[in-house]
Structure 1
Amino acid sequence: MAAMTSGSRRTPARRKAESSSRARRDGAADSDKPARASTARRELVENEMYEQATRLFAERGFAGTSLQDIADAIGITRPALYYYVKSKDELLAKLVTEVTDGPLNELKELVAHTDLDPVGQLRALVEIIVRRRATQPARFRLLIRSEAELPDELTAAYDDSRRAVLKTIAEVVEDGIRAGQFRPVDARVAALGVLGMCNWVAWWFHPGGRDDVETVTDQLAEMAIAALRRPDHHTLDGEGPEAALKMLRQDLDHLERLLKD
């Protein structure tokens, strides 16, 4: 049998170093488990806090609800609740931020990191908003009902978020018009129509009812696209001014034939 070379020989010192390295990796993995468990528990408690606060604010009003009421509804002590939120105003701010910034961040990420064309982007935008409104309807309804009671800084943040969502949708519509996929409409008006259709879901959709979230989401996405898409026979053959001029000539041709008849 050939002798082992010095490069392949595992000395006691090397075995000890490898054992130590494995122990450190195992220890690091074990130390991550409590952190992951803590994060998961925090998310669960925060979500329950939002749900119960939304319900109580809707039933009793913001002024008529105390942090003790919310702690009792969750099943924790008031001092334990202070670990997650320090006041009702902070809780309301968290709710407003979660309802407004959540979908906005998703929309921005979609538009910035997607290779979808405008039709695909519009479909994805509608799906994001409808899914949010269908799965968290009470939170959005509470936000709308509480608009007049929001502190000035929250009102400003909410208005900024609304404008940003509207601008994002309008830009997708405008891109679709330029690409010849959407009819030449007012992009802002179109965006308002799409957004209104999506937001209204929070009032009429009932989880567990006759329709499921995916069915409703798919149908509304199709309706938004159908409302804006050019007819198949009237789609630009390419992009840019030349394609638009070609379509215009075809339309003039058609008009001349009608006038001759």
Structure 2
Amino acid sequence: MDDISDLLELDAAGEPLSGRIVQIFQVACRLFAQRGFDGVSMRDIALECGISKATLYHYFPDKDSILRPLAIGTTKSLCLHVSRHDRPDAPPLERLRSFLTETANFFEKFRWAWIAASTVFWSDPKTRARKERIEWRDRYEQLLRDILQAGMDAGELRPMDVKLAGHFVLGSINWMPRWYRPEGALSAAGIADRFCDMIIEGIRAEPPASTPPRRR
């Protein structure tokens, strides 16, 4: 299991999170993903962690205080991960493939966090936290739109509504948590790579028609 602390901020003192806090996040994340947020109680989390409810409440006052940092951290980390692997000087179609496969790599590494975080994207009652998460989501989606626009400018992709095309591309990845199984024949990145082939065939620009030779 991957260290979920990679998705989280440092504690209030700027120090790495303690092992107990990381364990609570790890367990809660898996339970939220498997049962849904409403299907998990603080008692469930405490039992899975092998600690008392009193100990759990010492660290977190409620379930929201566990899920909120996970939700923000997952969205922010996804954006930063994909951006780090993007090469603006590369051909647009190569950048598009990287965007999809690196998104899939991130999903596969942090599958439980991705699923848990996706359940509360619009329902967080904390306006500031929701706004921060939306800002990171928008940066991630804007990168995709920039790649698609670069493809159109280079003549590699046909003219289209960039925002709508971005939704189309993201739709192929965003449903992966519902049906992807780690024990399947293909990795998440392998599936994303095949998706990319299908997507490119749908939005690739038609080659210019060849001019017939002039008769003499």
What CA deviation, in whole Å up to 9, does each residue of 1:149-188 have, x standing for no partner? 3214243333333322221100111111112222222221
How many equivalent pairs are there? 197
Question: Which has more helix, going by share of residues?
Answer: 1
Partner of 2:98: 124
1:106 partner letter: H
Deviating more after overlay: 95-104 vs 83-92: 83-92
Partner of 2:130: 155
> What is the RMSD of the two structures over their aligned residues, measured on CA atoms?
3.3
| Residues 170, 191 of structure 1: 8 Å contact kept | yes
Separation (CA, whole Å) in 2 of partners of 1:200 and 1:152: 26
Aligned CA distance change for structure 1 residues 165 and 214 (closer, same or farther; 3 Å) = closer
Alignment of 1:105 onto 2:84: no
Q: Alpha-carbon deviation of 1:226?
A: 3.0
Alignment of 1:196 onto 2:171: yes
Question: 5 Å matches for 1:1-261?
Answer: 41=19, 45=23, 46-56=25-35, 58=36, 61-62=37-38, 65-78=40-53, 81=56, 85-111=60-86, 115-147=89-121, 149-153=123-127, 154-231=129-206, 233-234=207-208, 254=211
2:81 partner letter: E
What CA deviation, in whole Å up to 9, does each residue of 1:84-135 have, x standing for no partner? 6453222121121133212111233334x65422122111110122233445
Aligned CA distance change for structure 1 residues 133 and 67 (closer, same or farther; 3 Å) = same
Q: Alpha-carbon deviation of 1:148?
A: 5.4
Q: Which runs of 5+ in 1 are unaligned?
A: 1-37, 235-250
Q: What SS does the aligned partner of 2:142 have?
A: helix
Identical columns (%): 21
What CA deviation, in whole Å up to 9, does each residue of 1:36-82 have, x standing for no partner? xx8795696243342234335x1xx43x6433321211223445546
TM-score, L = length of structure 1:
0.61
What CA deviation, in whole Å up to 9, does each residue of 1:213-261 have, x standing for no partner? 3431321232233333334x44xxxxxxxxxxxxxxxx5x84xx6xxxx
2:29 partner letter: Y
| Residues 29, 112 of structure 2: 8 Å contact kept | no
Q: What SS does the aligned partner of 1:149 have?
A: coil
Q: Which runs of 5+ in 2 are unaligned?
A: 1-15
Partner of 2:5: none
User: Which is higher, the Rg of structure 1 or of structure 2?
Assistant: 1
1:162 partner letter: R
More relative contact order in 1 or in 2 (CA 8 Å, sep 6+)?
2
| Residues 133, 199 of structure 1: 8 Å contact kept | no
Separation (CA, whole Å) in 1 of partners of 2:40 and 2:26: 18
